[in-house]
Amino acid sequence: MMSREDSPPRREVFALFGGIYSNAPALRAAIGDALQQNATRFYCLGDLGAFGPHPDRVFPLLHEYNIETVQGNYDDSIGNGLNDCQCGYTDPRDNHFAQISYDYTLSKTSEPNRRWMRDLPKEIRFECAGLRFLLCHGSPRRTNEFLWESTTSTAFLDRLADDYEADVILATHTGLHWQRELSDGRLFVNVGVLGRPANDGQCCVWYTLLTIEWDHDTAPQLTVKFRPVHYDHERLAAEMRSEGLPDEFVQTILTGWWTTCMEVLPAKERLRGKF
Amino acid sequence: MCAMTSDTPHVTLDSLDVLWFQVAGTICNLTCQHCFISCSPTNKTFGFLSLETVESALLESVAHGVKEYYFTGGEPFLNPALVPMLERTLEFGPVTVLTNGTVLKDEWLRRLRAASETSKYSLEFRVSIDGPDAERNDPIRGERTFDRALQGIRKLCEFGFLPIITMTQTWDDSENEAVLSQFRQVLRGVGNERPRLKILPRIRIGAEAERTNGYDEFERITSEMMDGFDQSQLLCSYSRVVTDRGVAVCPILLDSPDALLGATLEEAAEEFPLAHGACYTCYQFGSICTNPSTKRQEHG
């Protein structure tokens, strides 16, 4: 029998998908890429619908690959038939486009899929290599809280890690991927989104691969890789057009620049974009 | 006016997310007719903060896990230590400065541009103008203030900032869309290609109570109103203000005798009674003082 000292190093690779926004082709491409990268576990952090066409096409992929999914604010809204997406915009233009997207998604999501979203958990917790992982949508304390890189202090993230007893917090919701090392080797990662580009003029979308390596006598090593996903975005754009979705949304897919829902962007993130 | 009754609800400080600095006290180069703490060149009810006071509060704020920092007055740029304060605060977290935009100097903005580029955090400027033309703005904020504030916005844009323009609504709701549209056009004219606009409600205390009218007695929050209400919408549940006279509950109620809660953040963590007319406005509009990027959403 092998002694503890002889046990081989262990390794897990988590594929973490943020907001899908009905972009099923990007989700399919991301799953393919993660499999090639030897991902061992798959997670989705919520917001399955919005923005894109044919929301029901996302669900079979989540089921086929056993992707454990957190409930996003959009999933809560669509699942429970609420009036809006709970993003809380006040700019009339942002609200106009958000409502078009919401009404379309609500009308096109089947009842079984709505029921499934309604029952999704607000968070997923587990331990791996002795580290406590917490997967949520916006923040551990609020599904629709925006944690932007430039408006979230490290002291605040440390407090969340303390209060919610987590070593690694994984979130999405803002649409932009970023990470921050916290005190005592803890980590916060915004895993990005597959639903639309990262407002950087590129047509790819992003997900996160988190690798954990450990053995009996060293502390676990965490490696975060933000992975660009290239997919047939022109085909997605054509489908959005044929579904009558706004040209503003289509342009984002084709150009990589956000055109709507800009009100909530802080200065630094807004300045990096074109609009 | 404070009107505490046995039915007055109290709000606990759930988490200190936002820390304000009353950096210029009540001292301002302008005397706006609607100012809820009646700031003016001669109102010294609250004075300037020192760099040492800001530094000490920043260090204390880390243990509380403060998420972001706001600087207000009066006019913050009248405080000669403001630029070093902002530079230092950007090492701790995101910073927003509320200014009337009329006293900005190139030298300060050059330094702040550099500090902003070095920091991982955003430096936001919020410029107050009360309408898209001098006809609406100047009677409230003073002669020529519209033109001077617009020049301030031009300067901020030239230095690569994207100011948020805040306007206190002194017009009918039905005019909002027209006002915003006219404002966007005016701002593009001074080089602000991506206007960010925020409409604020009037707070009917201080100078504004004399300009129009104050709060009626019935405009108070009752326990019944708080039933089922998400108290995290109220600034006092997640914020405090550092002043030269101690830590206060919120930047709106400074003139109220019960607003000062203690000498330190720790001491100022006590619950606060929602006994003021201004609390009623905060209840109605929610998170009026914070930026759209961190506006607290209901539900969720």
Q: Cβ contacts (< 8 Å) between A91 and chain B: which residues?
A: 197, 292
Outline where DSSP puts E strands in A39-164. 41-44, 68-69, 124-128, 131-135
What whole-number distance in Å separates Cα of residue B70 and Cα of residue B99?
Answer: 11
What whole-number distance in Å separates Cα of residue A104 and Cα of residue A147?
Answer: 27
What whole-number distance in Å separates Cα of residue B142 and Cα of residue A100?
Answer: 42
pLDDT of residue A84: 86
Residue B297: pLDDT band by 50, 70, 90 thresholds?
A: low
Contact residues for B102 (Cβ-Cβ < 8 A; gap 6+): B29, B30, B75, B145, B148, B149, B152
Is A70 in the B-facing interface, judged by CB distances under 8 Å? Answer: no
- The answer to whether A266 contacts B124, with C-beta atoms less than 8 Å apart, is yes
pLDDT tens digits, residue range B148-169?
999 999 999 999 999 999 999 9
Q: Cβ contacts (< 8 Å) between B68 and chain A: which residues?
A: 151, 153
Outline where DSSP puts E strands in chain A. 10-17, 41-44, 68-69, 124-128, 131-135, 168-171, 178-181, 187-190, 205-215, 218-229
Report which of B40, B108, B110 is spatially closest to residue B77, judged by C-alpha positions: B108
Domain map (residue ranges) of chain B: 10-294
Q: Cβ contacts (< 8 Å) between A80 and chain B: which residues?
A: none
- Asked if residue B163 lies in contact with residue B156, where contact means CB atoms within 8 angstroms, the answer is yes
Residues of B with CB under 8 A from a CB of A: 15, 17, 61-68, 92-94, 116, 120-124, 160-162, 177, 180, 194, 196-198, 291-295, 297-300
pLDDT tens digits, residue range A243-271?
999 999 999 999 999 998 888 999 999 99
Checking if the pLDDT of B234 tops 70, the result is: yes
Domains present along chain A, CATH in parentheses: 8-272 (3.60.21.10)
Percent of chain B's residues with pLDDT above 90: 87
pLDDT of residue B298: 59
- pLDDT tens for chain A, 275 residues: list them: 555 556 788 999 999 999 999 999 999 999 999 999 999 999 999 999 999 999 999 999 999 999 999 999 999 999 999 988 887 777 778 888 989 999 999 999 999 999 999 999 999 999 999 999 999 999 999 999 999 999 999 999 999 999 999 999 999 999 999 999 999 999 999 999 999 999 999 999 999 999 999 998 888 999 999 999 999 999 999 999 999 999 999 999 999 999 988 889 999 999 999 99
Residue B300: pLDDT band by 50, 70, 90 thresholds?
A: very low
Checking if the pLDDT of B296 tops 90, the result is: no
pLDDT tens digits, residue range B162-200?
999 999 998 898 998 899 999 999 999 999 999 999 889
Q: Average pLDDT, stretch B32-54?
A: 97
pLDDT of residue B22: 98
pLDDT of residue A227: 98
User: Among partner residues A92, A153, A160, which is closest to B177 by beta-carbon distance?
Assistant: A92
Which residues does residue A205 pair with via DSSP β-bridges, in sequence order?
A229
Residue B216: pLDDT band by 50, 70, 90 thresholds?
A: very high
Is A30 in the B-facing interface, judged by CB distances under 8 Å? Answer: no
**Which is more confidently placed, B290 or A190?**
A190
What Å distances lie between residue A146 and A103, A132, B169, B293, CA to CA? 23, 22, 27, 7
- The answer to whether A151 contacts B294, with C-beta atoms less than 8 Å apart, is yes
pLDDT tens digits, residue range B97-125?
999 999 999 999 999 999 999 999 999 99
**Angle A233-242/A247-255 helices, nearest 10 degrees?**
180
**Angle B134-141/B145-158 helices, nearest 10 degrees?**
110
Is A84 in the B-facing interface, judged by CB distances under 8 Å? Answer: no
- Asked if residue A16 lies in contact with residue A207, where contact means CB atoms within 8 angstroms, the answer is yes
Checking if the pLDDT of B299 tops 60, the result is: no
What whole-number distance in Å separates Cα of residue A52 and Cα of residue A75?
Answer: 14
Report which of B129, B160, B164 is spatially closest to residue B147, judged by C-alpha positions: B129
Checking if the pLDDT of B280 tops 60, the result is: yes
Q: Cβ contacts (< 8 Å) between A275 and chain B: which residues?
A: 194
Q: Average pLDDT, stretch B35-62?
A: 97
| Nearest-neighbour CA in chain A from B300: distance (Å) | 5
| B-chain residue closest to A267, CA distance | B122
User: Among partner residues B162, B293, B300, which is closest to A143 by beta-carbon distance?
Assistant: B300
pLDDT of residue A3: 55
Which DSSP letter does residue A10 get? E
| A-chain residue closest to B200, CA distance | A90
DSSP reduced 3-state for A109:
coil
Q: Average pLDDT, stretch B47-53?
A: 98
Report which of A232, A266, A179, A248 is spatially closest to residue A23, judged by C-alpha positions: A232
Choosing among 3.40.50.2000, 3.40.50.300, 3.20.20.70, 3.30.470.20, the CATH entry for B10-294 is 3.20.20.70
- The answer to whether A267 contacts B17, with C-beta atoms less than 8 Å apart, is no
Q: Average pLDDT, stretch B134-156?
A: 97
Is A146 in the B-facing interface, judged by CB distances under 8 Å? Answer: yes
| Nearest-neighbour CA in chain B from A138: distance (Å) | 9
DSSP for B162-193, please give it. Answer: -PEEEEE--S-GGGHHHHHHHHHHHHHHTT-S
Residue B28: pLDDT band by 50, 70, 90 thresholds?
A: very high
pLDDT tens digits, residue range A167-204?
999 999 999 999 999 999 999 999 999 999 999 999 99
Contact residues for A112 (Cβ-Cβ < 8 A; gap 6+): none
